[in-house]
């Protein structure tokens, strides 16, 4: 794959999957229009540029744009499927996590993605189901699809670290994905989840390294009513001023470098439909992190203190 002139993107092995992945991956929610209107043409340009820059991991889900993210990704990757590790999820929020519905969800994703296989299929939002249903219905459906060659690896996704821990302890999956749990304002994943994942060789994918937009000085709209959390976030941000760069959104670079250089996180996801943002974010995936002194100070500020 042509990585483009000057590209310095780092790669890692995604746990027991053995997949060689770019440490920065493209998140699919914006590609479905979840954060603002976009078009097939814009998505194709973004994906083409991501590939040029050396990015080879795209994470999506049926939920994103109610299927539009997968459809646009499939369209953009025509003729380029072998260049990319595609991760998707099942099932659509609001649908049952039954064996039959899981199979149907993945078959629908395959059709939208215009591919015969999905590299990594993940149970989406453990919060929406139960542990019992996950291990008795959803995961067996994934394993059946893997036997059929329709998926290559199996993972789970959740915002709650507590929900993910049983899947790690019992070694039930190849990967786990969480979000906003290894950021400058909340790094609670480092206490138990990351060490156990390393011990089990379960690949870790980390979404929302900017803490739902907080570290970009633009909290996500759905956080606006949570005044207590936003006040606490502002308090923590004030203690991070020593990291702030002079440019607008000056904590973006240190926040991304913080996650991208964590040795126990294989992939950090960034979502964008802006070529400029894509290029700057990818530029931070060069192996340069915070200094030892800066890391020690960050870790001393909010140990064990969840924000979300």
Q: Is 151 helix (H, G, I), strand (E, B) or coil?
A: strand
Give me the sign of the Cα torsion angle 134, 137, 138, 142.
positive
Q: Which residues contact 49 (CB under 8 A, 6 or more apart)?
A: 275, 278, 279
Alpha-helical segments (H) within 83-221: 99-113, 131-133, 139-147, 161-169, 193-200
Catalytic residue among 11, 35, 64, 179: 64
What is the maximal distance between C-alpha atoms in the chain?
Answer: 53
- A 10 A CB-CB count for 217 gives 14
- Does residue 91 have a cis bond before it (omega within 30 degrees)? yes
Phi and psi at residue 230, in whole multiples of 5°?
-65, -35
Token duo for residue 240: 């991070």
- A 10 A CB-CB count for 303 gives 11
- For residues 193, 156, 278 and 41, what is the CA-based torsion angle, rounded to 10 degrees? -170
Q: Could you tell me which of 196, 193, 138, 127 has the C-alpha nearest to residue 163?
A: 127
Does residue 64 carry a catalytic annotation? yes
State how far the Cα of 230 lies from the Cα of 117, in Å rounded to an integer: 41
Residue positions annotated with a catalytic role? 64
């Amino acid at each position: 794959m042509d990585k483009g002139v000057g590209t310095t993107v780092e790669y890692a092995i995604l746990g027991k999957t053995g997949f060689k992945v770019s440490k920065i991956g493209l998140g699919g929610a914006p590609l479905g229009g979840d954060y603002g209107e976009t078009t097939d043409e814009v998505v194709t340009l973004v994906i083409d540029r991501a590939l040029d820059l050396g990015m080879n991991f795209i994470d999506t889900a049926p939920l994103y744009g109610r299927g539009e993210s997968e459809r646009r990704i499939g369209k953009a990757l025509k003729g380029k499927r072998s260049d990319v590790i595609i991760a998707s999820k099942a099932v659509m929020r609001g649908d049952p996590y039954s064996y039959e519905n899981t199979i149907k969800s993945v078959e629908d994703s395959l059709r939208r993605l215009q591919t015969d296989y999905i590299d990594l299929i993940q149970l989406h939002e453990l919060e929406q189901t139960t542990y019992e249903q996950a291990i008795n219905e959803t995961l067996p459906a994934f394993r059946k699809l893997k036997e059929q060659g329709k998926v290559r690896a199996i993972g789970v996704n959740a915002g709650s670290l507590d929900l993910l821990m049983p899947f790690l302890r019992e070694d039930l999956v190849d990967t786990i994905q969480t979000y906003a749990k290894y950021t400058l304002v909340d790094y609670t994943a480092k206490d138990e989840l990351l060490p156990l994942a390393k011990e089990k060789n379960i690949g870790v994918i980390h979404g929302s390294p900017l803490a739902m937009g907080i570290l970009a000085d633009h909290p996500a709209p759905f956080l606006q009513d949570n005044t207590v959390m936003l006040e606490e976030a502002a308090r923590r941000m004030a203690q991070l001023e020593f990291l702030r760069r002079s440019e607008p959104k000056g904590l973006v670079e240190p926040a991304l470098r913080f996650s991208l250089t964590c040795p126990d996180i294989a992939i950090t996801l960034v979502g964008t439909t802006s070529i400029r943002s894509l290029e700057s974010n990818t530029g931070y995936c060069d192996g340069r992190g915070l200094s030892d002194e800066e890391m020690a100070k960050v870790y001393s500020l909010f140990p064990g203190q969840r924000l979300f």
